[in-house]
Structure 1
Amino acid sequence: MIELKNISKTFRTSDSTVEALKNVSITVNDGDIFGIIGMSGAGKSTLVRCINMLERPDEGAVLIDGVDVGSLKSKDLRNTRREVTMIFQGFNLLMQRSCLNNVMFPLELAGVKKADAKKRALELLETVGLPDKANAYPAQLSGGQQQRIAIARALATDPKVLLCDEATSALDPKTSHAILSLIREINEKLGITVIIITHQMSVIEEVCNNVAILDHGEVAEQGRVVDIFTHPKSQAAKRLVFPEGEQEILVEISAYRLRVIFGGAKAAGTPLIARLAKEKGIEANILGASTKAVGDKAYGNMLLSFADENSKDLAIAFLKSIEDISVEEV
């Protein structure tokens, strides 16, 4: 378990100070895929660097399995960093080394015999789907392939935690999807806890189970991804879930408005509004919608308006009868 307790960090320049983190507290359970999301400057990269003490917080504590990482001596901290490894947006591979030697590098630093390090590295190249790239150099690979090599290198020391700092931001959507699928597969097969730092809600939706939203260095909201996606409470969460602007949706067409929330409803694939009209004789205007299909289920919401209060009340009763759909008045 990773516990971030009241983490604060301020950077000072010659003429100003920047509060990057303000009293941040987050708990990540073993085996979770946890997302930390925020706009540029929210403090998310600073926070993830505090986890392995690449950046030391001014206040607060980082506990990994109950151990205060900030109190460790240099040798013990190095050992902890082998258990909490990291991949980056820019891959950070050693360009003068082959892919095999890149993966072997952390094992060499740990004093592992060359033959054992090579065997382990070849196994990891197989794990990330690039066994044929052992003798290739990073410059000969695509961005997605380079990130796979970086993941293999991060796994070399059998870590308990994998930190991903904007790991897919430099990749196209198809390649990003493939890397996220690989990360989930690693999480499931090896039981490694994964923390993903990103500014992209699509990344959180695709792979994370839980999420914390950072806004100006503070935790604006945290919880299950499905809960925050369907019921965002903070303004920061709403900006991420409704990037088109929720307020623009709330046009003054009618005073009788409902938000229909899809929390994993298979029924969302059926023509609900058409059924509402056909079965109940109720006409509804669709003011806006923000939905996403994940597998065979739908998440998100739809904003409806009605001509009168009676129609609105009948619509509430009808929609609430459908599994995994909830309704709230706006």
Structure 2
Amino acid sequence: MIEIQNLTKRFTTQSGTVVALEDISLTIRDGDIFGIIGMSGAGKSTLVRCINMLERPDEGLVAVNGREMQTLSPAELRSARREIAMIFQQFNLLMQRNCLKNVCFPLELAGRPKAEAEARARQLLELVGLPDKAEAYPAQLSGGQKQRIAIARALATDPKVLLCDEATSALDPNTTHSILQLIKQINRELGITVVVITHQMSVVEEICNRVAILDGGHVVEQGDVGQIFSNPRTAAARKLVFPAGAAQSELVPGRRMVRVAFNGTQTTDKPLVASLAIECNALVSIIAADTRIVNGQTLGSMLLALPEDQAAAQRAIDYISNYPGLSFEEVKQV
């Protein structure tokens, strides 16, 4: 659905030229919920604005639904943008219009008849769960309700792509969860490809199937969410996946150490540490751990100190090497 090849974007400032994005290449498939995540200043919002040509790249290619965006005429670009909807952190509703009129607005701009536009708007208010708020004004709504109206408005032109730029950052956790579930429903029922721009790994964890991690204007990792969560390879990825610090604590003198990465072990599986004690008579110590449940699977890592007895330590290594759903490496003493 979206193909980005070797994209570079620069800005000229009083102090010189700033390279916001450099040599970005991404493929976002039809039907994906694709997360683009990074810390503040990583280039996330600039990248999403390059997708719909609100910012024009200096180099590279952006193709959406088979059309190369840079080559389109102004009229063709306006038409293409109707297939690329966008929602924002601050909702951007028209305060002087009620909810129904807000949802109608893009249809009015597209020249749709008033009765047809209102009928479509009421369908979308039903979809986002707010049919009773048609006559209410944005000032009368909660933050979550405002975002639902913004989503309804974004869907008015039947887009193929929905861009979400920090769309839940201003919301409390419960409201965030409900909005993310609505986005997931829209993706599933309407077949709309979703691109989620966020600095919160919990958002990616909840709804995305694939993710790219930006750092300093570069894509440092990309792939399936489970793959990135289970074994982040770069420092930027580890900082996002393990905000409390990756399992890299101080080594224990005189003990062999193993870093175990869970690659999607089902939560119903027998626990590793208990199994080592019961089946191998190998008592290991958890020095550090950062694991979480994503779609019913355990992802993350643990740093384990093996028994001082070398025979027991080797039994533990042998057991871990055959344990399903994880990878491991022995961490050497420096």
Matching residue's letter, 2:87: I
Q: Which residue of 2 aligns with 1:235?
A: 235
Deviations 1:88-114 (A, max 9, x none): 000101011101110000000000111
5 Å-filtered alignment, 1:221-260, equals 221-246=221-246, 249-260=249-260
Q: Which residue of 2 aligns with 1:115?
A: 115
SS of aligned partner of 2:148: helix
Is the contact between residue 6 and residue 25 of structure 1 (CA under 8 Å) also seen in structure 2?
yes
Change (3 A) 1:309 1:115: farther
Matched, 1:7 2:7: yes
5 Å-filtered alignment, 1:1-330, equals 1-246=1-246, 249-267=249-267, 270-306=270-306, 307-330=308-331
Q: Which segment drifts farther, 301-310 or 95-104?
A: 301-310
Is the contact between residue 52 and residue 84 of structure 2 (CA under 8 Å) also seen in structure 1?
yes
**In structure 2, what is the Cα distance between the partners aligned to 1:253 and 1:205?**
36
Deviations 1:27-77 (A, max 9, x none): 100000000000000001000000000011111110113321011001110
Q: Which segment drifts farther, 12-21 or 49-58?
A: 12-21
Is the contact between residue 84 and residue 161 of structure 1 (CA under 8 Å) also seen in structure 2?
yes
Unaligned runs of 5+ in 2: none
Is the contact between residue 267 and residue 296 of structure 2 (CA under 8 Å) also seen in structure 1?
no
**In structure 1, what is the Cα distance between the partners aligned to 2:267 and 2:181?**
26
CA RMSD of aligned residues (A): 1.6
Change (3 A) 1:315 1:153: same
Change (3 A) 1:185 1:254: farther
Matching residue's letter, 1:95: M
Is the contact between residue 248 and residue 303 of structure 2 (CA under 8 Å) also seen in structure 1?
no
Matching residue's letter, 2:242: F
Percent identity among equivalent residues?
59
**In structure 2, what is the Cα distance between the partners aligned to 1:209 and 1:31?**
10
Is the contact between residue 2 and residue 29 of structure 2 (CA under 8 Å) also seen in structure 1?
yes
**In structure 1, what is the Cα distance between the partners aligned to 2:119 and 2:145?**
20
Is the contact between residue 284 and residue 305 of structure 1 (CA under 8 Å) also seen in structure 2?
yes
TM-score by length of 2: 0.95
Deviations 1:232-291 (A, max 9, x none): 111111111121223752433455111222222125664431221122110101011111
Is the contact between residue 5 and residue 60 of structure 2 (CA under 8 Å) also seen in structure 1?
yes
Q: Offset at 1:154?
A: 0.5
Matching residue's letter, 2:232: P
SS of aligned partner of 1:323: coil
Unaligned runs of 5+ in 1: none
**In structure 2, what is the Cα distance between the partners aligned to 1:105 and 1:253?**
67
**In structure 2, what is the Cα distance between the partners aligned to 1:254 and 1:201?**
36
SS of aligned partner of 1:246: coil
